[in-house]
């Protein structure tokens, strides 16, 4: 372990200690309020370009296992905790969190006041940050951080999307009833698992796939995944989705929801500090039920920019009243801001996948 500094864009800084990875890393810093699920957070492609601070004070007590990763690698830029657990205990664990971070050369910092950091980010908003184990000169760090691109306007999807189309394989999967084209903007494995277990043969496409390439497999539905960065910068996916409206039932999650909103003519805006955690209450206006949801986004669709005669709000965030779900009134289009796949997080909203299945069932009867 060695001395490390976390330096924020506004000059706020914290001194702590690093793990074995040395050097510097930079990105937008956000806080995550989940008490568990750090492995899923680390491997969630939606965190690409970000430094994540966990608000729970002790992280790593159940180690890392081979089953709970949401992608094949760690995507975030840096990791901030109050304290790393040195002794993990879980029958599924294959290694410690510290070893996992060290093997993947992730620069992490511990020993800082994460409560003070979280409170500062809530008051001042998410901002650029830098972790360094080599440079402690504040003037130098300020110059470095000024050169870091803002999350607004940045396309991180192109860095996490699959390079080639593939079909997801799942053990003991039921015989498929539907063929789903999934646009990978940073897709999580559990989304693919759930769709497959619900009877879907999932064909995963790169984010820049064309409508012609997608329609070539004759899909029964289109899914747009979660992902990192500014949704307004993903113009190629927005245009593809827009051209497929009316041809297929469409279902979007998180960034996919934002892309649907933009393709419908709406606009997005950046939230002050975003929603990152596994404890966000959302009300489903269709079934009049309230669920606790997993969320990870820094942007939001502005419901006021969508045409009320065409699009209706069907889910609302009970913390800040922001838009959480929309449905088109004429076409089979549905999208949600939160994560119904619950990785990490509660299973309260997993039934939303059933809405997509029903849309495909209804559409198949029309053929």
In this model, does residue 102 exceed pLDDT 90? yes
Q: How far apart are the C-alpha atoms of 75 and 72, rounded to whole Å?
A: 9
Indicate whether 108 and 164 sit together in one domain. no
Indicate whether 21 and 135 sit together in one domain. yes
Indicate whether 292 and 223 sit together in one domain. yes
Q: For a pLDDT cut of 90, what percent of the chain falls above it?
A: 97
Q: What positions carry a catalytic annotation?
A: 254, 339, 341
pLDDT tens digits for range 257-266: 999 999 999 9
Q: What pLDDT, on a 0 to 100 scale, did the predictor assign at position 364?
A: 85
Q: What pLDDT, on a 0 to 100 scale, did the predictor assign at position 366?
A: 76
Taking a C-beta distance cutoff of 8 angstroms, is the pair 30, 151 a contact? no
> Does residue 152 belong to any structural domain of this protein?
no
Indicate whether 329 and 218 sit together in one domain. yes
pLDDT tens digits for range 257-306: 999 999 999 999 999 999 999 999 999 998 899 999 999 999 999 999 99
Would the pTM count as exceeding 0.85?
yes
For the chain, give the mean pLDDT: 96
Q: Which domain holds residue 216?
A: 157-366
Render 235-285 in DSSP notation, one character per residue: HHHHHHHHHHBTTB-EEEETHHHHHHHHHTT-EEEEEEEEEEEEEEEEEET
Q: Of 146, 176, 201, which residue constitutes the final position of a domain?
A: 146
Indicate whether 237 and 128 sit together in one domain. no
Q: What pLDDT, on a 0 to 100 scale, did the predictor assign at position 367?
A: 66
Domain of residue 166, CATH code = 3.40.50.880
Q: Of 85, 114, 146, which residue constitutes the final position of a domain?
A: 146
pLDDT tens digits for range 199-215: 999 999 999 999 999 99
> Does residue 151 belong to any structural domain of this protein?
no
**Total domains present in the chain:** 2
Domain of residue 125, CATH code = 3.50.30.20
In this model, does residue 1 exceed pLDDT 90? no
pLDDT tens digits for range 219-264: 999 999 999 999 999 999 999 999 999 999 999 999 999 999 999 9
Q: How far apart are the C-alpha atoms of 276 and 293, rounded to whole Å?
A: 10
Indicate whether 337 and 223 sit together in one domain. yes
Residue 271 has phi, psi (to 5 degrees) of -75, 155
Report, as an integer, the average pLDDT of 175-183. 97
């Amino acid at each position: 372990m060695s001395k490390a500094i976390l330096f924020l864009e506004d000059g706020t800084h914290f001194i702590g200690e690093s793990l074995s990875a040395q050097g510097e890393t930079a990105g937008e810093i956000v806080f995550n309020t989940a008490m568990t699920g750090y492995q899923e957070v680390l491997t969630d492609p939606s965190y690409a370009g970000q430094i994540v601070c966990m608000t729970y004070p002790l992280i790593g007590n159940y180690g890392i296992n081979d089953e709970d990763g949401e992608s094949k690698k760690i995507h975030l830029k840096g990791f901030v905790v109050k304290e790393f657990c040195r002794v993990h205990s879980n029958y599924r664990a294959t290694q410690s969190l510290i070893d996992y971070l060290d093997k993947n050369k992730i620069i992490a910092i511990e020993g800082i006041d994460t409560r003070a950091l979280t409170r500062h980010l809530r008051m001042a908003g998410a901002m650029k940050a830098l972790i360094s184990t080599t440079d402690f000169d504040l003037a130098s760090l300020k110059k470095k951080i000024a050169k870091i691109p803002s999350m607004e306007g940045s396309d991180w999807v192109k860095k996490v999307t699959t390079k080639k189309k593939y079909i997801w394989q799942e053990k003991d999967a039921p015989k498929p009833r539907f063929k789903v084209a999934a646009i990978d903007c940073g897709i999580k494995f559990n989304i693919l698992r759930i769709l497959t277990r619900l009877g879907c043969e999932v064909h995963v496409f790169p984010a820049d796939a064309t409508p012609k390439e997608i329609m070539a497999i004759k899909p029964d539905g289109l899914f747009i995944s979660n992902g990192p960065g500014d949704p307004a910068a993903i113009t190629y996916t927005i245009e593809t989705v827009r051209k497929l409206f009316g041809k297929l039932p469409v279902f979007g999650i998180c960034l996919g929801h934002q892309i649907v909103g933009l393709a419908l003519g709406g606009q997005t805006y950046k939230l002050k500090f975003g929603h990152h955690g596994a404890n966000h209450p959302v009300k489903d206006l269709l079934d009049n039920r309230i669920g606790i949801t997993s969320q990870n986004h820094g942007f939001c669709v502005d419901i006021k920019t969508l045409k009320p005669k065409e699009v209706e709000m069907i889910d609302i965030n009970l913390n800040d009243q922001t838009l959480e779900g929309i449905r088109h009134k004429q076409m089979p289009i549905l999208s949600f801001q939160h994560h119904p796949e619950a990785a990490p997080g509660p299973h309260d909203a997993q039934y939303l996948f059933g809405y997509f299945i029903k849309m495909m069932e209804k559409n198949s009867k029309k053929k």
